[in-house]
Structure 1
Amino acid sequence: MVSTPHLTLPELRGMAERGEIDTVIVAACDMQGRLQGKRVMPRFFLESVTSEAAEGCSYLLATDIECGTVPGYELTSWEKGYGDFIFAPDLSTLRLAPWQPGAAIILCDIELKGHKPADMSPRTMLKQQLNRLKAHGLTAWAATELEFIMFRNTYEDAWNKAYRGLTPANQYNNDYSILGTARVEPIIRRIRNAMETAGIQVENSKGECNLGQHEINFRYGPAVETCDKHVIYKEAAKEIAAQENAAITFMAKFNEREGNSCHTHLSLRNEAGDAVFLDADGHSPSKLFKQFMAGLLRHAPEIALFFAPNINSYKRFALGSFAPTALAWGMDNRTCAFRVLGHGKSIRVENRLPGGDVNPYLVLAAMIAAGLAGIEGDYAPVPLFTGNAYTADLPRVPNTLADAAKLFAESEFTHSVFGIDVVKHYTNMAKVELDAFNAAVTDWERFRSFERM
């Protein structure tokens, strides 16, 4: 048996020879934050993938959410033949996938021919910003809090019902409720234990405000590792729910009640492992923290596309909803977009803008890039906000995806930190989403207009 959930190649070989593992999931994260890839046999993985990598169609970084081929991407197209790119396995991510019998999983970086990193790949984008941070002698630690709504319907049943009349797993607000969460504990417990077995340390689970809404929280860690665990957990949670004849959604705003958030925590440390957001007295915010926060606030509108990547994302930003509408920072203030909390090494920024539909690599890449701009540019401090940010005279979150995409596309800042090719790529992603929505006829239009217009 293996001693840890992380597998070495000899351990994988031994488990395969004993018949304990017969499948290796080889996956990479796409623009939408989903795992895409292949299931391969252990012998092929050990004899070929580990030394020669794997390949997959380049359209995986150039599709809409339905995996349809769409125009406007310079990376790949029908004219370029939709060739392959490289799935380069990161052996440090090889682990058991205990929610699937006999399975292991490994995450990959996406590379172009010649093993050149694909600049548009979310995991690569985060690594690039971490390299910039490293030049300042700093590292980033992070955690994500991913909410979802659970229904007592299968995914197939939900589809056939056109997502109407679904039965939420709880019929009332069960925020922090032990009784309410007990109703779904068999599934939540299974998810928690599967993640622990996969080496993804769970801190807790709790109920949330919307009907059937829950949250599972995980131990913080280095930024890339945190994102890797996030995308594995999101995939596993959906698979486990399906196996239990249930369905969960991470969409930012399922209905008019509370949306699904993905509060993202970020802290910086120096090479000695010390927290750098505090002064030497261990209590006062440091100059570096003030610069970082000033950069985050100044550039938040320009990078909102990475915090709210879909049309539906912007419906989550509502007054008094625990989703922010104002760009401010406050100490343990849940009305602000950026809540600062913790003490000592644990002092951190909680970004309350992202919803459950985000790509975690892009969120953290954007946060680090904006904070670094404040450090490198020695931005003037932005005063701490106290009170109710919902009603204060403060800069606001962009209202729509179209607004956010325009700010992102026209920003000198995004061009300087991500490069023109990446800006064009993700601007096109937003355009594809907007074009698809603008071409659709919605239920709202039919109910409003069928008889009365």
Structure 2
Amino acid sequence: MTLEHNPARGARLSPNVKIVTLRPCDVPPGGAIMNNDLSAQNITASGGMTLDELRAAVDAGAIDTIVMAAPDMQGRLQGKRVMPRFFLDNVLADASEGCNYLLAVDVEMTPVSGYDFASWDRGYGDFVFRPDLSTLRRAAWQEGAAIVLCDIALHDGTPAPVAPRSILRRQLDRLAAAGLTALAATELEFMLFRNTYEECMRRGYRDLDPANLYNVDYSILGTAKVEKVIRAIRNALEASGIRVENSKGECNLGQHEINFAYATALECADGHVIYKEAAKEIAQSQDHAITYMAKFNEREGNSCHIHLSLRDEANRPVFAAGGGHAPEFGHFLAGLAAHAAELSVLFAPNINSYKRYAVGSFAPTGLVWGHDNRTCAFRVLGHGRSLRVENRLPGGDVNPYLALAGMIAAGLDGMERRLPAQPAFTGNAYHGDLPRVPRTLSDALALWRHSAFAREAFGEQVVAHYARMAEVEVETFAAAVTDWERIRCFERM
């Protein structure tokens, strides 16, 4: 796919380049995927592989492994490594199967009660991994490997309603019905340590060695010290068909980010989860470890800023009008601000997520928008075709499919109901009488569980499923005895 500008950066290419609008969903919401025979399809994403190219690479011995993976509730890739002949001869005709507990477990992969979708009472049967061949690409960070992302379907062929990719597709279908396409890019921060994951675990994640010992935000010298790892990540993702823009240092010790060119919202989320997996594997191969947790220590947390803009069927920017904002942009921003608190479970899904929201931390607390104002939850920047909104609420632990689905649903509601545009906030949004981010996951869970808007936008099954996910995190944390408690109470209580 060729693009004219990057709404997450404002860069421009040739004015003659046009955007190819991809179908946001191969099947209608709830529609059947009864014909699983994909062998005749020859589709490819930008920088990806066609089936013909895959067959040629397999015949030449260049590809000997196909990674089939689907994002789970936490946004992690789960799946199988499949031999290419089996993939070409069997999976393309019949798809593949996996245990449906993958959408009903906690972070530790423990089966959890309380899910209607999958349970011991239902026998933890299989669902279907259906490869989306538009995502087929070389996995350049693994020798001889290709990767394809999958949609999760039920045995009757319908999309699994609680699968993150299904949830985003349904919101993209709503946009498509209105003649709109969402374009997005994520800025995902991480912390890099000079320890392997096994060493980090043995140390109890204490006394680790950050890859930088001072603030390297924008520092060329500081980032040069870790360029061996960061360069390997940049080049591997570029070689895998995910277009890299740049890398830079950040504020916390050993903190960095790598930024990618924008794409349609589904491609953006797909690229995000592939990048996250690849970066961890590459770091481990060089005896380093990466964490994307929202708040590793008391310094700056890991953010995941999400940039979003809309185009109409004629490829015209929806948010811009003349030299300023279109009325639709005001309504979209009003929807985001109105629903941000009750959608916090989608933007900040973990106990740890809420520790990132602190005054003066560059993580927002005020649910308002402002022009190029990093203290606001929603930062508006760019102009003309590059005008977009940056959602600064998500942290590095976010599931991008769910966050993008939440942004689209909230913005669409603002546009459909023509919610009155709010004036841009000026000044310091950490102070003043403003609507605020929920203080804890428990607070966010209560808002999500009782949200009439969430039920209307996502359906009762999705609300209940992700309410249970948040509830499990709250219950598990409440039962845990932490280092903080031992240090505070062991002798002095």
1:136 shift after superposition? 1.4
User: Is 1:180 matched with 2:235?
Assistant: no
Q: What is the match of residue 94 of structure 2?
A: 52
2:478 is aligned with 1:438: yes
User: Which of these residues, 352, 359, 366, is aligned with residue 392 of structure 2?
Assistant: 352
The residue correspondences of 1:49-128 to structure 2 (distance < 5 A) are 49-128=91-170
Provide, for residues 8-61 of structure 1, a one-character-per-residue CA deviation record: whole Å limited to 9, x for no partner. Answer: 112111111111110000000000000000000000000011111110000001
Question: What letter corresponds to residue 413 of structure 1 in structure 2?
Answer: F
SS at match of 1:451: coil
Which residue of structure 2 aligns with residue 153 of structure 1? 195
Match of 1:395 among 429, 432, 435: 435
Distance 2:49 2:84 in 1: 13
Amino acid at match of 2:447: L
- For 1:135, the aligned partner's letter is A
2:45–2:136 Cα contact (<8 Å) kept: no
Contact 2:344 2:444 in 1 (8 A): yes
CA distance in 1, matches of 2:262, 2:45: 22
The aligned counterpart of 1:385 is 425
Matched, 1:452 2:492: yes
- Please tell me whether the aligned partners of residues 45 and 135 of structure 2 are also in contact (alpha carbons under 8 angstroms): no
Inter-partner Cα distance in structure 2 for 1:205 and 1:446: 39
Match of 1:320 among 336, 355, 360: 360
Q: For the structure 1 residues 68 and 177, does the alpha-carbon distance in structure 2 shift closer, same or farther, using more than 3 Å as the test?
A: same
Equivalent residue, structure 1, for 2:264: 222
Query: How big is the shift at 1:4?
Result: 7.4
Q: Percent identity?
A: 65
SS at structure 2 position matched to 1:145: strand
SS in 2 for 1:389: coil
Once the two structures are superposed, residues 348-396 of structure 1 have per-residue CA deviations (whole angstroms, 9 ceiling, x without a partner) of 0000000000000000000000001111111111111011101122110
User: Where does residue 415 of structure 1 map in the other structure?
Assistant: 455
1:302 aligns with 2:342: yes
Where 2:316 maps in the other structure, the secondary structure is coil
**Mapped partners of 1:297, 1:165: distance in 2:** 40
How far, CA to CA, are the matches of 2:167 and 2:277 in structure 1? 21
- Partner letter of residue 340 of structure 1? V
Q: 1:258 aligns with which of 300, 304, 310?
A: 300
Provide the rounded CA distance (Å) in 2 between the counterparts of 1:392 and 1:169.
Answer: 38
Tell me the distance in 2 between the aligned counterparts of 1:4 and 1:193: 16
Q: Does 1:208 align with 2:250?
A: yes
Change (3 A) 1:137 1:328: same
Equivalent positions of 1:224-239 (< 5 A) are: 224-239=266-281
The structure-2 alpha-carbon separation of the partners of 1:31 and 1:4, relative to structure 1 and needing over 3 Å to count, comes to: closer
Letter of the 2:337 partner, please give it.
L
2:174 to 120, 125, 132: 132
**From 413, 417, 424, the counterpart of 2:464:** 424
Q: Which runs of 4+ in 1 moved over 3 A?
A: 2-5
Deviation at 1:3? 12
SS in 1 for 2:389: strand
Q: Which residue is equivalent to 1:8?
A: 50
Alpha-carbon offset, residue 5 of structure 1: 3.8
- Unpaired runs of 5+ in structure 2? 1-43
The reply on whether 1:292 has 2:332 as its aligned counterpart is: yes
CA shift for structure 1 position 346: 1.1
1:37 aligns with 2:83: no
* Match of residue 378, structure 2, among 303, 327, 338: 338
- Taking the aligned partners of 2:120 and 2:46, their CA distance within structure 1 comes to 45
In the alignment of these two chains, the number of paired residues is: 450
Distance in 1, matches of 2:58 and 2:180, equals: 40
164 and 320 in structure 1: CA distance in 2 versus 1, 3 angstrom threshold: same
CA distance in 1, matches of 2:381, 2:420: 21
SS in structure 1 opposite 2:342? Answer: helix
Q: Which amino acid aligns with 1:177?
A: S
Which residue of structure 2 lines up, in the alignment, with residue 268 of structure 1?
310
Q: Equivalents in 2 of 1:199, 1:19: separation in Å? A: 20
Partner SS for 1:327: strand
For residues 19 and 387 of structure 1, what CA distance do their matches in structure 2 show? 60
1:409, 1:3 → 2: CA distance? 37
The reply to whether residue 370 of structure 1 matches residue 370 of structure 2 is no
Q: CA deviation at 1:431?
A: 0.6
Distance change (3 Å), C-alpha of 1:3 and 1:87? closer
Helix, strand or coil for the counterpart of 2:181?
A: strand
What TM-score, normalized to structure 1? Answer: 0.98
Cα deviation per residue 1:223-248 (whole Å; 9 max; x = unaligned)? 00010000000000000000000000
Instruction: Tell me if structure 1 keeps the 8 A contact 2:308–2:388.
Output: yes
Give me the whole-angstrom Cα distance separating, in 1, the residues matched to 2:55 and 2:233. Answer: 27
Deviations 1:167-207 (A, max 9, x none): 00000000000000000001100000000000100110000
- Compute the RMSD of aligned alpha carbons: 1.1
CA distance in 2, matches of 1:405, 1:49: 39
Match of 1:240 among 270, 282, 292: 282
SS at match of 1:165: coil
Paired residue secondary structure (2:420): coil
